[in-house]
Amino acid sequence: MRADRAARAATLAVVVVTSLGGCSTVGLSNSTSATPVVSQQTLAEIKPVVKGIEQEVAAFVPLGLVAGEVYSAGGSISDCAPGAVSWGSHTAVPVSRPPDLDELTAELRARWSRAGDFEVDLTEGSTQEPRLILRSPVLGDYYVEMIEESLQVASFSTCFAYDEERDGYAWEIFAE
């Protein structure tokens, strides 16, 4: 049953990752459109940083609320500019009850060593559920919200130049 729940959460997270997108963009002057900034980093350089940030944020969930094993998914890539992709993944923290995102936001701002690197916004999702968004033009975007019985930390790297031979093929990356 736990494996089934984890599989459903992983599938849901992939849907969330795909729907939210996630490339850092720079606005064009006098325009409502934006053009992605494409990093020259490799997937091998980006993945450990993104996964590390996911896990750092997840570690701020109060231990008394953690109700099971923390699940950290592989990830997948999605297009963000011609010849460039963003790598997205997630970490799920099963909880006994939803954490107070106001408190989590305050803790991150006060105690997280990377807080100064991010714009931190506590907003609402499409169904008015609380959602914490962490944005950095250098480190990517992270969305923290409840999905089913887990607090999900969904990540999206900055947009980077994609080379299949160097970075791996999309199906290989998703299968990791």
Mean per-residue pLDDT, 104-129: 93
How does pLDDT run across 60-90, given as a tens digit for each residue?
Answer: 999 999 999 999 878 999 999 998 999 999 9
Pick the CATH number of 2-175 from 3.30.200, 3.40.1710, 3.30.70, 3.30.2030: 3.30.2030
Q: Name the band, by pLDDT with cuts 50, 70 and 90, for residue 105.
A: very high
Residue 97: predicted pLDDT: 95
Helix (H/G/I), strand (E/B), else coil: 154: strand
**Six-digit token string for 92:** 């799920």
Dihedrals φ, ψ of 34, to 5°?
-135, 155
What is the structure's pLDDT at 176? 66
Residue 2: CB partners within 8 Å, gap ≥ 6? 68
Cα angle for residues 103, 13, 5 (degrees, 5° grid)? 95
- State how far the alpha carbon of 71 is from the alpha carbons of 31, 79, 95, 118, in Å: 40, 25, 12, 24
Burial 26-55 (b: 16+ CB within 10 A, else e): eeeeeeeeeebbbbeeebeebbebbbebbe
| pLDDT over 70 at 27, yes or no | no
pLDDT, greater one: 59 or 128: 59
CA-based nearest residue to 55, from 77, 35, 38, 70? 70
Of the chain, the percentage scoring pLDDT greater than 70 comes to 79
CA 132/CA 139 separation, integer angstroms? 16
Which amino acid makes up residue 126?
Answer: S
* Confidence at residue 128, expressed as pLDDT on a 0 to 100 scale: 87
C-alpha distances in Å from residue 149, one per residue of 2, 52, 99, 101 = 11, 22, 11, 15
Cα–chain center distance at 150? 14
Q: What percent of the chain has pLDDT over 90?
A: 64
